[in-house]
């Protein structure tokens, strides 16, 4: 086994948010292993920007944007997500509250609660935490939220507008992936991108924005050449597409689906997957879709040539979680006038 002397450095040449891992191999050559894109730092930066915007807005005598989060049932993970979303919203100056209902709530009662919030002019954003209990039709509920208050971007109108490259409210996870590519200046124009996973809330909106025309009205297009893989893509075909990809975005929830030997040197990998597994010692831990432990990950290119950019699950999650974007979307929803609209635009059209 080869010895490596690690020189973990913070590159001054690269964007400060990109950390280079360089080492000297046994032949004495400097090598670069990866650039770790620090999503956590980026999320902090975006929050700080929004906090200032909202502060200025409120200081000018306007009402703070407001968010209502609906949760039905006792699922502990859902309660944690909602708690985090509310905390993040409050942190940047959004007035946010949770409406909790027990799992026996009927679909009709939930729809009535949503309709009341739709009509409430002091409420700008509504978020219904999914999944809902089995007796409730999620699609019907998503469509009951007024499209302009639909923080999650799941309403049929918002999904349709996204598909037509129109300005709209985009699902938070997908928007976060695009935001990372933009802010870290990852070139997408004409590049081969593979999206693994085709769910309507995650894979689909990511693929939509990646392949769309940047010049269209949404301003979210990335002009990449996109291949979508899913559960029925034969493993050898998945391997082939990934090996050809400049950018891989994986959102499947299948641990270790993407091995290091499926990633071409220099590619950018965004791992959206989050799965809780139990390891051999009986400990539970969260893992992504990419096999970070695979030794092949350490195949590297010479320093200053293409570097593999990997967004490690931990870093990525800080940006990608819906709570990071709930406040942005909420700001967007109170677009009663230009100033509030600019909060949204700032988030969506951040020039790198």
Ligand X SMILES: NC(=O)c1ccc[n+]([C@@H]2O[C@H](COP(=O)([O-])OP(=O)(O)OC[C@H]3O[C@@H](n4cnc5c(N)ncnc54)[C@H](O)[C@@H]3O)[C@@H](O)[C@H]2O)c1
Q: Which residues bind ligand X (CB under 6 A)?
A: 173, 196-199, 201-203, 229-231, 233, 238, 251-254, 257, 272-275, 317, 320-322
Question: Closest distance between ligand X and the C-beta of residue 88, in Å?
Answer: 13
Closer residue to ligand X, CB minimum distance, 129 or 201: 201
Closer residue to ligand X, CB minimum distance, 32 or 204: 204
Question: Closest distance between ligand X and the C-beta of residue 129, in Å?
Answer: 12
Q: Which two tokens stand for residue 228?
A: 């979508």
Residue whose tokens read 């010049």? 215
End-to-end C-alpha distance for the chain, whole angstroms: 41
Q: Is 349 helix (H, G, I), strand (E, B) or coil?
A: coil
Closer residue to ligand X, CB minimum distance, 65 or 203: 203
Do the Cβ atoms of 327 and 94 come closer than 8 Å? yes
Bridge-based pairing state of the strands 192-196 and 125-128:
unpaired
For residue 116, which of 130, 103, 101, 102 has the smallest C-alpha distance? 101
For residue 124, which of 66, 53, 64, 57 has the smallest C-alpha distance? 66
Closer residue to ligand X, CB minimum distance, 8 or 276: 276
Closer residue to ligand X, CB minimum distance, 182 or 301: 182
Separation between Cα atoms, residue 11 and residue 24, nearest integer Å? 16
Question: Closest distance between ligand X and the C-beta of residue 263, in Å?
Answer: 15
Identify any residues that bridge with 56 across adjacent strands, giving them in sequence order: none
For residue 319, which of 184, 153, 204 has the smallest C-alpha distance? 184
Tell me which of 38, 53, 124, 129 is the catalytic residue. Answer: 129
Tell me which of 85, 149, 316, 340 is the catalytic residue. Answer: 85
Please give the backbone phi and psi of residue 111, each rounded to the nearest 5 degrees, phi first.
Answer: -60, -40
Separation between Cα atoms, residue 106 and residue 220, nearest integer Å? 38
Question: Closest distance between ligand X and the C-beta of residue 341, in Å?
Answer: 26
Question: Closest distance between ligand X and the C-beta of residue 278, in Å?
Answer: 16
Tell me which of 124, 150, 152, 271 is the catalytic residue. Answer: 152
Annotated catalytic residue 152: yes
Query: Which residues have a catalytic role annotated?
Result: 85, 129, 152
């Amino acid at each position: 086994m080869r010895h490596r002397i690690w020189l973990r450095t913070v590159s001054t040449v690269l964007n400060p948010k990109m950390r280079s891992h360089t080492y000297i191999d046994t032949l004495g050559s400097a090598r670069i292993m990866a650039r770790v894109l620090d999503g956590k730092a980026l999320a902090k930066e975006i929050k700080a920007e929004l906090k200032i915007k909202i502060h200025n807005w409120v200081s000018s005598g306007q009402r703070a944007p407001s968010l209502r989060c609906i949760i039905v049932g006792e699922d502990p993970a859902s309660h944690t997500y909602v708690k985090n979303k509310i905390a993040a919203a409050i942190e940047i100056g959004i007035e946010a509250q949770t409406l909790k209902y027990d799992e026996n709530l009927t679909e009709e009662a939930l729809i009535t609660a949503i309709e009341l919030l739709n009509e409430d002019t002091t409420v700008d954003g509504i978020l219904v935490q999914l999944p809902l209990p089995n007796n409730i039709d999620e699609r019907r509920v998503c469509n009951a939220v007024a499209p302009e208050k639909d923080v999650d971007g799941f309403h049929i109108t918002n999904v349709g507008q996204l598909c037509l490259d129109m300005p709209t409210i985009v699902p938070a996870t997908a928007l976060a992936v695009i935001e990372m590519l933009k802010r870290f200046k990852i070139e997408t124009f004409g590049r081969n991108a593979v999206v693994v996973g085709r769910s309507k809330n995650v894979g689909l909106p990511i693929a939509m924005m990646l392949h769309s025309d940047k010049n269209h009205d949404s301003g979210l297009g990335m002009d990449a050449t996109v291949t979508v893989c899913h559960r029925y893509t034969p493993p050898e075909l998945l391997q082939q597409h990934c090996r050809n990809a400049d950018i891989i975005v994986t959102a499947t929830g299948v641990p270790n689906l993407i091995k290091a030997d499926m990633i071409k040197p220099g590619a950018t990998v965004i791992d959206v997957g989050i799965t809780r597994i139990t390891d051999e010692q009986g400990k539970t831990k969260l893992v992504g879709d990419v096999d970070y432990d695979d030794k092949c990950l350490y195949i590297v290119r010479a320093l200053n040539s293409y570097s593999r950019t990997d967004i490690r699950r931990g870093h990525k999650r800080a940006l990608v979680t819906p709570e990071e974007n709930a406040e942005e979307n909420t700001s967007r929803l109170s677009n009663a006038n230009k100033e509030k609209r600019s909060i949204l635009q700032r988030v969506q059209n951040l020039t790198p």
